[in-house]
Amino acid sequence: MSACRRMLYLVKHRSLLTYVRRNLTTWSPVGAAFNARPHRKLDLFQKNVGLFGVPELSCPAGFQVATETALKNTERLVEKACSSSPGVQTVQCFDQLSDELCKVADLADFIKVAHPDPAFREAAEKTCIEIGTVVEKLNTNVELCKSLKNLLDNPDIVAQLDPDTRRVADLFMFDFEISGIHLDDTLRKEAVALHVKLLDLNNEFLVGSHMPNRIARSAIPEHLHLNFATEGSFIQIGGLHADSPSDLISSNSPKICNSGGLGDSKLPTGMNVSLLAWQPVQGVSLPSAKCMLGLARAPVDPETAKDFKMMRGMKKKLSPRHSELMPWDHPYLSGVLRAERYNIEPSLYSPYLSLGSCMEGLNNLFSQLYGVSLMSEQPRAGEVWSEDVRKLAVVHETEGLLGYIYCDFFHRQDKPHQDCHFTIRGGRQCQETGQYQLPVVVLMLSLPHPTKGAPTLLTPGMMENLFHEMGHAMHSMLGRTRYQHVTGTRCATDFAEVPSILMEYFATDYRVISQFARHYETGQPLPESMVARLCESKKVCGAADTQLQIFYAVLDQIYHREPQNRSTTEILKDMQQKFYGLPYAPNTAWQLRFSHLIGYGAKYYSYLMSRAVASMVWKQCFIEDPLNREMGERYRREMLAHGGAKEPMLMVEGMLQRRPTIGDFVDALVSELNPNFETFIMDSES
């Protein structure tokens, strides 16, 4: 963007500068935009530009128009790919084909869960199904696969490909192979049928994982009925109610919620998973992941025993009549222990963490690390799905406009209660126009609305989640990949959470927090002692939390192995005894609530892997100076810029300027729990 154009941006948004609470606190334009209630000017003559500026999507029927256009372009690109001579243009054509479908499918995938209008949600759902069906057919299109195979089987042509193009070609071939393209016609049809059945079972499992269990009203004393939803002669129990003041509720609700009544405990992993679910993970070898999990247990288990001892003491204090420590007590009691020991009541912190101040802090951080500014823009008529959605332009000081982030931050009826990052449009170099297609993403949170007397105030947990999700968004914005198939967060699962987890370190460093956390009424900064208490509290029961994640990762891998002649509950009991310090509760099947079994599919360990990488990057590159521009530029250049176009280990190696060992990964996981862990690991390896 030219200096003149950037000046127009600044002049345009200068009017947003506002004073809050009798001029005691002054916010920057982006801070003011998020601390003020939205004020949209009603312009009856303004044209409806459609959702995200897509003209067809000014009404629900437009989804069918957009779908038909995408499918027509798809047919043309398939014909082009099959008839072209093998070369770079083959991969470019595949990527353009992928982009045509993703631009509609990804947008629809978001709208079907987020739009408040049922008609829009229904139309988007139909689009997802229609395009999903086409994708399944393309992944088993023999002629299309041959056009790519002709390229990859020619060593002379492959030698001329640049690394990014070669990797993208391999990834497209990988998609063909996991769809059974290499099988004969009979087996391929069987594989496709199994894949479709697996997708149906996955959806069935995800729905069931959130369904409440029922129990007869007569089974619970009448004075407790008000604590639960009712359905005729039944009471619905869909939560643990671990914080209930009633011992009867807190001790029995988890058993009912996690009882085997959800089904016969046969997860959709028992059929031919060696073909469909247990796939090689791009970027790291599974034996390495298993090795990391195994090595981490030795130093973590003894510390976990101490954590559970503390939890038992707290439960005995809170529930003398039901003092046995159960698996579902872990998250609740660890939170109680943190709050009691360090006095980290969220209401003490929230006045310093208005949404506007946090967004101002993110803007300052990105400006200092990358030379990037977040600039609030007024959405055009019909561009957003709710009037409280904010639109941010991401602008680099020399490169200009990098992309757009739509911030759907506030709670509303029928909106999912989860923090998510959605890619609406991936970035790519358009060969047909010579321009770069700018990425567009949505960040979805579920925050309270501002009131007449105060802006939206965040708890420390909410603030960390905001930084986490913004890490995903900046991964999408700062990437400049040639191919949208590997843009931003479209990377190996092992690596996808690294940028977001790294942002959590910035969110708890006082040198960063001190730049924005100030009381929304008085302007006073958040005391450093309060930040220190918050950071120290995170170490409480940290070993138990890590052991639980190791247990989840191992269980996920066991479930996605070859079929076993026993129920998932029997496997759960066995693995819980081996890998987790709390006993299995009879007649429960909590794995039926573990929805990540579907989302990750043998790759849940990636959360620990990403946390280890983020820890290494923070300690080596940012802990001395979290606002160091040189390190920020290296981080963008070595890690964020590549999306999925480069092997994760090569990106980590480029950032750390060394190749980390398995011991380094383990040390990064556990050293924050106890400073003596590092010595333990070094002694074990020697």
The conformation of residue 483, written as its DSSP 8-state character, comes to -
Do 198 and 277 meet the contact criterion of CB atoms below 8 Å apart? yes
Give mean pLDDT, residues 270-278.
34
The conformation of residue 624, written as its DSSP 8-state character, comes to S
Which phi and psi angles does 454 have, rounded to 5°?
A: -155, 150
Residue 40 has pLDDT above 70, yes or no: no
Give mean pLDDT, residues 308-312.
94
- Give the active site residue among 100, 130, 469, 504: 469
| Residue 418: predicted pLDDT | 82
Work out the percent of the chain whose per-residue pLDDT is above 70. Answer: 86
The conformation of residue 517, written as its DSSP 8-state character, comes to -
Give mean pLDDT, residues 431-452.
93
Residue position matching structure tokens 């990052």: 421
The DSSP secondary structure of 603-620, one letter per residue, reads -TTHHHHHHHHHHHHIII
Query: pLDDT tens for residues 476-491?
Result: 999 999 999 999 999 9
As a whole number of angstroms, the distance between CA 54 and CA 214 comes to 44
Q: Which tokens go with 610?
A: 């990403």
As a whole number of angstroms, the distance between CA 209 and CA 205 comes to 6
| Residue 674: predicted pLDDT | 60
Give the CA radius of gyration of the chain: 26
| Residue 558: predicted pLDDT | 87
| Residue 192: predicted pLDDT | 78
Query: pLDDT tens for residues 407-433?
Result: 999 999 888 888 999 999 999 999 888
Listed as own residue / partner, the contacts of 457-462 with beta carbons closer than 8 Å and 24 or more positions apart are 457/350, 457/351, 457/353, 457/354, 457/355, 457/520, 458/350, 458/353, 458/354, 458/355, 458/358, 459/346, 459/349, 459/350, 459/353, 460/344, 460/346, 460/349, 460/353, 460/534, 461/346, 462/353
Query: pLDDT tens for residues 66-100?
Result: 999 999 999 999 999 999 999 999 999 999 999 99
Residue 303 has pLDDT above 70, yes or no: yes
Give mean pLDDT, residues 402-407.
98
Distance, first Cα to last Cα, the chain: 54
Do 480 and 641 meet the contact criterion of CB atoms below 8 Å apart? yes
Report for 315-319, 468-472, 589-593: range of highest mean pLDDT? 468-472
Confidence of residue 42 (pLDDT cuts 50, 70, 90): low
3-state secondary structure of 162: coil
Confidence of residue 559 (pLDDT cuts 50, 70, 90): confident
| Residue 281: predicted pLDDT | 40
What are the beta bridge partners of residue 391? 377, 406
| Residue 246: predicted pLDDT | 66
pTM: 0.88
What is the number of other CB atoms lying within 10 angstroms of the CB of residue 107?
A: 25
Residue 302 has pLDDT above 80, yes or no: yes
Question: Does residue 660 come out as left (phi exceeding 0), alpha (psi in the -120 to 50 range) or beta?
Answer: beta
Active site residue 469: yes
| Residue 41: predicted pLDDT | 60
Query: pLDDT tens for residues 236-273?
Result: 776 766 666 666 666 666 767 776 544 444 444 433 33
Give mean pLDDT, residues 364-378.
97
Element (H, E) at 263: none
Which phi and psi angles does 622 have, rounded to 5°?
A: -125, -15
| Residue 26: predicted pLDDT | 65
What is the number of other CB atoms lying within 10 angstroms of the CB of residue 423?
A: 24
Q: Beta strand pairing status for 436-437 and 428-429? A: antiparallel
Do 268 and 204 meet the contact criterion of CB atoms below 8 Å apart? yes
Residue type, 607: Y
The DSSP secondary structure of 134-147, one letter per residue, reads HHHHHTT-HHHHHH
Give the length of the chain. Answer: 686
As a whole number of angstroms, the distance between CA 115 and CA 415 comes to 8
What are the beta bridge partners of residue 628? none
Residue 17 has pLDDT above 60, yes or no: no
What's the mean per-residue pLDDT of the chain? 86
The least confident of 301-315, 588-602, 611-625 is 588-602
Q: What is the 3-state secondary structure (H, E, C) of 40-95?
A: CCCCCCCCCCCHHHCHHHHCCCHHHHHHHHHHHHHHHHHHHHHHCCCCHHHHHHHH
Residue position matching structure tokens 């987020």: 114
| Residue 65: predicted pLDDT | 97
| Residue 19: predicted pLDDT | 32
Query: pLDDT tens for residues 195-232?
Result: 777 777 877 887 777 778 777 877 777 777 777 777 77
Give mean pLDDT, residues 634-656.
96
Query: pLDDT tens for residues 484-529?
Result: 999 999 998 889 999 999 999 999 999 999 999 999 999 999 999 9
| Residue 466: predicted pLDDT | 98
Which phi and psi angles does 338 have, rounded to 5°?
A: -65, -45
| Residue 243: predicted pLDDT | 62
Do 435 and 480 meet the contact criterion of CB atoms below 8 Å apart? no
Give mean pLDDT, residues 104-120.
96
Give how far Cα 222 sits from Cα of 6, 215, 219, 226, 246, Å: 65, 13, 9, 8, 13
Give mean pLDDT, residues 668-680.
64
